[in-house]
Structure 1
Amino acid sequence: MSVVARQGIKYSIIGYLGFLLGTFSAIFIFPYDMEFYGKLRYILPTAEMIVPIVVFGLSFSNVKFFSKVNADGKHHNMLSLSLLAIFINFAIIVGIYFLLAYIFPSLKEFKIWEMKKMILPLALVLALSSVFNKFLTNYKRVVIPNIFENFVPKIANLGAFCLFFFMGFAEKSAYGFFFMMFVISLFGYGFYTNKLEKIKPDFDVAYFKKDNFYKQIFTYSLFGFLGNIGSYVAIKIDSIMIGEFINFEENGIYNNIYSIISLIVVPQMGLFNLSAPIINKVLANGDYEELDRFHKKTSLSLFFLGLVLFCCIAVGFPYLADFMKNGEDLRTAEPIIWILGFAMLFDLATGFNSHIISLSKFYKFNIVVMLILAILTISLNMIFLTYTDLGILGIALAYAISLSLYNITKITFNYVKFKVFPLGIEMMYALILGFLSINVAILLPDFEHNILNLFYKPSVVLILLFIGNYFLKIYPLDKFLNKDFIKSLFKF
């Protein structure tokens, strides 16, 4: 088996295990103290928001220009200067941060100032780690970085929470464990990089001055920074806004529900890695008819599988909450399940819109749209927080509206440029079938014990979806539920 295939399989396994650990923690552990969990879910996203500014796209440049600098024996030179630049950028940003707080004392009333001793050092550690993470992909090594990137944050959250709530440690001690997990991760990155090829520090700038090579790197890094900052703002801003303008307990509730509903995007994990080469090849050949066919096929797959999971969550959540600590608080926030769920389903239905654009000559359009999405998300959050009393429900609505408009924009762009369209009539049939299945399951009588309802209601949904799909031929499940396909899953 090739290195790429082995790494791909291991990457997917690690991804799913990390997701399961996060989901288990969200259901059975974190509900015991939503306020402290809300604090953890404020610290990490806030630090992650600072990371793109500190890195300034240098992590992407270490991939983009690796072939050239490696051929000239200067790849460690570029890595060394990138790490040095991060320290310099971080010092400048911290200086500006304290200067602004001095000029505008009201900034000291925000929680980001109150928690600066945790957030700022964590941002530096994460920034350095991001450069190593991307640098390692040049060696076709993604499994160990995936452990550091996806597994460590979940262990940090879970470990810090258990130390504080179950073992009685002070908050500072729990925060210390939380921070040290990321420090260990950074050292792990360095150790693994050095193991693959001994790191040779080199801070000479002569090579990059030649033929103004540094200008190419700066330009590419700038576009990487713009796209990355837009993506981080759009994805992470919810936790920051809730923590700053509502409270940490509500932040914990929101993130808990978000973790559960995110189960519906599991089918998307790893699928882009398989589809990217196909999309790239079809775009290069200019075969847009084949691209449209492939786009519809993958979009239907993602949507149908996501819909099945959403229907099961929608009917099972009320009974699941009964077994969760502070389940009543989660029940009151149940509408968020539906709002986020429909937004994510539409995102799945649009398939690989972003990837088609990013792999084409119009890749800069993705950056522009991502920045617009970030601005729109912040604006909608402020509108709902300022002019309504919806609280975290308003945050969910802001997320759903901005994500949907973002996807509509990409659908329109791809249709105009490539004549491809992801949506099909089969999705409408599937949506109607899912709606009917949910309503039938809800209307059926409940058992006295909720543990039976938790399995009985989603099972009804699955049976109805399977029967409906059999007659309507929406999705070719028969291709995946046969003996040959199941056997192939265990062949490497």
Structure 2
Amino acid sequence: MGIIIKQSIKGTIWSYLGVIIGFVTTAYLYPNFLSPDIVGLFGLLVAYSTLFGQFSLLGVHGVTSRLFPYFRDKKSGHHGFLLIPAGFMATGFALFLVAYYFFAPYLIESNIEKSQLFADYTYLIIPLSFFTMLYLFLDIYNKVLYDAVFGTFLQEFIQRVLVLLVTLLYAVQLISLSQLIMGYALALIAKGLIMLVFMTRKGELKIRIERNFIDKNLRREILDVALFSVLGGIGYMLVFNIDKIIVNQMVNLNDTGVYTIAFYFGTLVIIPSRPLLKISGTLIADAWRENAIPKIKDIYTRSCLNQFIIGGFLFLGIWANIDNILTILGPDYLQSKWVIFFIGLGYLFDMMTGTNSQIIGLSPYYRFNLASLAILVVVAIALMYSLIPLWGIVGAAIAIASSLFLNNFLRFIFLLWKYRFQPFNWRFIVITFFYLGIYISLLIIPQLPLIPDILLRGGIITILSGLFFAFLPISADINQLFRQVMERLRKISTGTPEN
């Protein structure tokens, strides 16, 4: 677990530096200097480019995660592995361009009245989709080379710095609206370009031809994994991006903007899990190759516990300060309160179920992920069309949260049935009542002015949680991390050199 903890900490640091920057952009600059329809445009561009970028991979992300351990050999250029993703992505992006050619006129026509701004900038989907595809592959490829941090650094930190800078230039009226939108698109594109340069300088983008390495059986498995991965990848991206598209179609671009900002606050809960899941996936793939079932079970159990601790801490921090968040966002965003709650709750459950998706996706039963995702897509879309007319953007949030719960519950049942993996124990009950106790205690505290209230509530949650998890035997990983931090501080204070 050493490499998981080490890279997870580094990734989390970059993620939360990005959160601070993203908070300034999303909570202050967007509500005060951008209209909700501009924010809605940004959300739609990300949603569409993520969907089409994922499609253009044609499942090569799954092939890389699952089968790269069989190719791993830097001296031989990993036996010409890069020829496989290059062929898949060239084909996938060509298919996307053909689909876009026929689909774009309908997309423009259907938005020209209620979402004119999106209709004007639909063409940006093409470059955004290409560079999203490029980043998604290179990030996965870098991950299987045991570096899960750099992609997180680009996605969570650098991209948000660039978006902040562009928004600031617009806020002080140094650039026009069209330049803001182009600058935003370039900020999204940048991570793909930087990752390309990074991997080239790292010496990992050398394409070599080794015809005899891929035999008939391996070729069949590559195609099989790619097929299920492209369907699964599209299903996953569809569920977690189509909400903005459906809100725009059923309501308008203004409400899409409100939903986009509320969704950002809800997803703060899951940010620490991204670096953990990236590096865990690589170790799980290696463990499956060695059939090391106890190792996989250990990763699963620890990931569920540690992610629940972190996710619960963040969810508590957000919900305890929900009134402060709404004050910062302003009156136009009052309806975002329950969107934040349900999205945060859904992602908390997703964190609590740990690496279930990676374990199943990299196992001999990876097809099950596709079945569960198919159910997820159907349920999510059906719930959105049922609940949005009733409760607007809150209905969309409930649909996403319900889908997350159902999908992870099915994965939990599958792992329990197939491998007898059961990660939950008395610790989860203790953690739940501990966080509930803090929340109930905070209700007694009267509302103070904005900044003092945030500092007081955040300080109480942080101090009590730190003491609780540092000294009680809830998580061995957190206890070990606390001892390491204290030992390092002791050495710094005494002038003892590091080993």
Q: Could you tell me which of 214, 234, 243 is aligned with 2:239? A: 234
- Gap change, CA 1:95 and 1:216, over 3 Å in 2: farther
Aligned partners of 1:11 and 1:82: how far apart in 2? Answer: 29
What's 1:333 paired with?
Answer: 336
Equivalent residue letter for 2:236: S
What's 2:323 paired with?
Answer: 318
Aligned partners of 1:4 and 1:356: how far apart in 2? Answer: 15
Aligned partners of 2:171 and 2:293: how far apart in 1? Answer: 57
What's 1:366 paired with?
Answer: 369
Aligned partners of 1:450 and 1:463: how far apart in 2? Answer: 20
Q: Could you tell me which of 378, 383, 407 is aligned with 1:380? A: 383
Equivalent residue letter for 1:44: V
What's 1:30 paired with?
Answer: 30
Shift of 1:403: 0.7
Aligned partners of 1:244 and 1:160: how far apart in 2? Answer: 28
2:83 and 2:207 in contact (8 A); partners too? yes
Deviations 1:283-332 (A, max 9, x none): 955656x766664444233223322222222222212433x2x4233344
Aligned partners of 2:433 and 2:47: how far apart in 1? Answer: 37
What's 1:425 paired with?
Answer: 426
1:60 and 1:134 in contact (8 A); partners too? no
* Correspondence list, 1:10-409, <5 A: 11-32=11-32, 33=34, 34-61=36-63, 64=67, 67=71, 74-75=80-81, 77-78=83-84, 80-97=86-103, 101=106, 115-137=121-143, 140=146, 143-167=149-173, 169-197=175-203, 216-273=221-278, 275-276=280-281, 277=283, 281=287, 295-322=300-327, 324=328, 326-386=329-389, 388=390, 390-409=391-410
Matched, 1:442 2:443: yes
Shift of 1:248: 2.8
**Range that drifts further, 418-427 or 478-487:** 478-487
Deviations 1:428-477 (A, max 9, x none): 33323322322221123334x33222222344445666788799975679
Shift of 1:223: 1.7
Equivalent residue letter for 2:319: A
- Gap change, CA 1:96 and 1:10, over 3 Å in 2: same
1:349 and 1:423 in contact (8 A); partners too? no
Which secondary structure state, in structure 2, belongs to the residue aligned with residue 167 of structure 1? coil
Which secondary structure state, in structure 1, belongs to the residue aligned with residue 354 of structure 2? coil
Shift of 1:402: 0.9
Which secondary structure state, in structure 2, belongs to the residue aligned with residue 422 of structure 1? coil
Which secondary structure state, in structure 2, belongs to the residue aligned with residue 226 of structure 1? helix
Aligned partners of 1:218 and 1:470: how far apart in 2? Answer: 47
Deviations 1:249-292 (A, max 9, x none): 3223323233223333344243335655379648955656x766
- Gap change, CA 1:113 and 1:418, over 3 Å in 2: same
Deviations 1:158-184 (A, max 9, x none): 344334443263332222222333444
2:80 and 2:207 in contact (8 A); partners too? no
Aligned length: 482
Aligned partners of 2:454 and 2:78: how far apart in 1? Answer: 61
Deviations 1:90-128 (A, max 9, x none): 332223425x849x9768778565542122332133224
Equivalent residue letter for 1:351: G
Shift of 1:231: 1.4
CA RMSD after TM alignment: 4.2
2:244 and 2:256 in contact (8 A); partners too? yes
Shift of 1:362: 1.4
Aligned partners of 1:183 and 1:423: how far apart in 2? Answer: 41
Aligned partners of 1:223 and 1:206: how far apart in 2? Answer: 25
Which secondary structure state, in structure 2, belongs to the residue aligned with residue 169 of structure 1? coil
Q: Which consecutive unaligned segments of at least 5 residues does structure 1 have?
A: none
- Gap change, CA 1:298 and 1:181, over 3 Å in 2: closer
Equivalent residue letter for 1:179: A
Shift of 1:391: 1.0
Aligned partners of 1:15 and 1:229: how far apart in 2? Answer: 25
- Gap change, CA 1:453 and 1:223, over 3 Å in 2: same
Aligned partners of 2:228 and 2:153: how far apart in 1? Answer: 27
Aligned partners of 1:382 and 1:414: how far apart in 2? Answer: 31
Shift of 1:363: 1.6
What's 1:414 paired with?
Answer: 415
Which secondary structure state, in structure 1, belongs to the residue aligned with residue 306 of structure 2? helix
**Range that drifts further, 373-382 or 434-443:** 434-443
- Gap change, CA 1:375 and 1:157, over 3 Å in 2: farther
Q: Report percent identity of matched pairs.
A: 20
- Gap change, CA 1:81 and 1:296, over 3 Å in 2: closer
Shift of 1:409: 0.9
Shift of 1:480: 5.2
2:114 and 2:252 in contact (8 A); partners too? no
Equivalent residue letter for 2:314: L
2:169 and 2:175 in contact (8 A); partners too? yes
Aligned partners of 1:309 and 1:320: how far apart in 2? Answer: 14
- Gap change, CA 1:314 and 1:214, over 3 Å in 2: same
Aligned partners of 1:121 and 1:304: how far apart in 2? Answer: 39
2:12 and 2:275 in contact (8 A); partners too? yes
- Gap change, CA 1:486 and 1:89, over 3 Å in 2: farther
Deviations 1:381-437 (A, max 9, x none): 111124x1x111111110111111111111111111112223333323332332232
Q: Give the TM-score of the pair, scaled to structure 2.
A: 0.80
Q: Give the TM-score of the pair, scaled to structure 1.
A: 0.81
Shift of 1:229: 0.6
Aligned partners of 2:279 and 2:206: how far apart in 1? Answer: 34
Which secondary structure state, in structure 2, belongs to the residue aligned with residue 334 of structure 1? helix
1:314 and 1:338 in contact (8 A); partners too? yes
**Range that drifts further, 65-74 or 37-46:** 65-74
Aligned partners of 2:133 and 2:183: how far apart in 1? Answer: 19
**Range that drifts further, 393-402 or 258-267:** 258-267
